[in-house]
């Protein structure tokens, strides 16, 4: 069977698994605010989906996105999720022979997008105590060359949960500017950070701020994100975007409602996310060989290092899967460090995390004694 078929069948099995505990994809499983649900239902009841949405997104949504980001002198277009914004930006700005610089670990898909246009990828290792599990700006400076066309910064970092300080962001922006490179600031998880600084504040000319509605609002299946940059750059990117016929109009109505109730609704979601993380940290502390190296996490997930327990992350995932709990193997994010950790996402009902914590010690024991091939993606 072809790889894409195997991968698809894997995710098809997951979405059709009754009662699966989704603790692996940083998706948000908290109940929607009634106003968001109502907006989605109203759009469907009104049968609005017969029309194409405006190519750059509903004006009300665009204005709300800009207000939320709080950036001046930029504009925004709505995309089919952050991933489509990343795909389009990388494809539009890179030529064969160019270089994209990012961290290791990072979110891997933009690297595949860069390679698919003949560009090369440079990864700066940030995993490990020697790096403090974060990117020191001077290490970025060391890796930038005249070929560097894009710096791809996932901040907060998925999977690590580290987040750049305002000083670091300013330095990273300066390094990108000095190199004449675009800075893609992937802020998919910014709402979960203790403090988050947008690089566009320091480098408005060539920073592309990419944001998602999948994580904070829980719209992963609805596919909505945004791309925000200086108007000339957006004009260039808006010439031939893949969603030129507009993004999902039902999702956009829900996103508008979501932004309007965000201040009221999201703090509880964040509190639950952080309580869930604390519960996992406590449980992990009692299991020999495990540790949570980055805590508190600035994302809605954390990594649990299991290399010292002598277990393969895939074996832990497989053992938890038997209890209908999905967590992610590190190899999804990084070839170099993927054998060291699993990632657990935490914007979920408390009960799911209680169950995870109950099953985790047994899953580690089972993983110690297991050998085998795991078909995980």
Ligand X SMILES: Cc1ncc(COP(=O)(O)O)c(C=O)c1O
The strand pair at 301-305 and 325-326 is best described as: unpaired
CB of 212 to ligand X, least distance (A): 3
CB of 158 to ligand X, least distance (A): 4
Residues in the chain: 377
Residue nearest to ligand X (CB): 81
Judged by the rule CB under 6 A, the positions of this chain that interact with ligand X are 26, 81-83, 107, 154, 158, 186, 188, 212, 214, 220, 225
CB of 97 to ligand X, least distance (A): 25
CB of 1 to ligand X, least distance (A): 25
Instruction: Between 313 and 364, name the residue whose CB sits nearer to ligand X.
Output: 313
Instruction: Between 225 and 241, name the residue whose CB sits nearer to ligand X.
Output: 225
Q: Are 203 and 173 in contact (CB under 8 A)?
A: yes
Please name the residue that has the structure tokens 């519960």: 279
Instruction: Between 171 and 212, name the residue whose CB sits nearer to ligand X.
Output: 212
Instruction: Between 43 and 188, name the residue whose CB sits nearer to ligand X.
Output: 188
Instruction: Between 83 and 114, name the residue whose CB sits nearer to ligand X.
Output: 83
List beta partners, residue 229.
75
> How far apart (Å, rounded) are the C-alpha atoms in residues 315 and 313?
5
CB of 333 to ligand X, least distance (A): 9
Which secondary-structure segment (H or E) carries 269? helix 249-285
Q: Give the strand order in the sheet containing 120-125.
A: 75-79, 225-229, 207-212, 182-186, 148-154, 99-104, 120-125
CB of 27 to ligand X, least distance (A): 8
Please name the residue that has the structure tokens 């277009």: 77
Residues 6+ apart with CB under 8 A from 14: 20, 326
Instruction: Between 75 and 214, name the residue whose CB sits nearer to ligand X.
Output: 214
Q: Are 81 and 225 in contact (CB under 8 A)?
A: yes
């Amino acid at each position: 069977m072809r790889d894409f078929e195997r991968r698809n069948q894997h995710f098809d099995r997951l979405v059709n698994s009754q009662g699966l505990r989704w603790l692996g994809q940083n998706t948000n499983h908290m109940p929607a605010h009634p106003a968001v649900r109502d907006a989605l239902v109203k759009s469907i009841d009104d049968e609005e989906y017969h029309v194409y949405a405006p190519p750059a997104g509903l004006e009300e949504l665009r204005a709300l996105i800009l207000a939320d980001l709080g950036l001046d002198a930029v504009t925004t277009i709505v995309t089919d999720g952050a991933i489509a914004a990343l795909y389009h930006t990388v494809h539009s700005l890179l030529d064969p022979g160019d270089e994209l610089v990012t961290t290791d670990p990072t979110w891997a898909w933009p690297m595949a997008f860069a390679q698919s246009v003949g560009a090369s990828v440079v990864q700066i290792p940030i995993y490990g105590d020697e790096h403090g599990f974060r990117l020191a700006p001077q290490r970025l400076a060391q890796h930038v060359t005249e070929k560097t066309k894009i710096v791809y910064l996932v901040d907060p970092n998925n999977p690590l949960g580290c987040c750049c300080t305002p000083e670091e962001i300013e330095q990273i922006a300066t390094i990108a500017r000095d190199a004449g490179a675009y800075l893609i600031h992937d802020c998919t998880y910014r709402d979960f950070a203790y403090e988050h600084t947008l690089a566009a504040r320091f480098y408005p000319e060539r920073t592309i701020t990419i944001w998602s509605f999948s994580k904070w609002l829980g719209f992963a299946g609805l596919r909505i994100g945004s791309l925000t940059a200086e108007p000339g750059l957006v004009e260039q990117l808006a010439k031939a975007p893949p969603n030129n016929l507009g993004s999902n109009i039902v999702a956009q109505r829900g996103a508008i409602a979501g932004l309007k109730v965000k201040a009221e609704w999201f703090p509880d979601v964040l509190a639950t996310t952080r309580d869930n993380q604390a519960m996992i940290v406590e449980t992990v502390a009692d299991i020999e060989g495990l540790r949570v190296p980055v805590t508190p996490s600035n994302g809605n997930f954390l990594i649990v290092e299991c290399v010292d327990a002598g277990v393969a992350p895939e074996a832990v995932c497989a053992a938890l899967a038997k209890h209908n709990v999905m967590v992610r193997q590190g190899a999804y994010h990084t070839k170099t460090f993927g054998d060291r950790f699993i990632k657990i996402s935490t914007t979920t009902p408390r009960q799911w995390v209680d169950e995870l914590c109950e099953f985790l010690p047994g899953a580690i024991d089972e993983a110690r004694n297991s050998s085998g091939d795991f078909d995980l993606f």
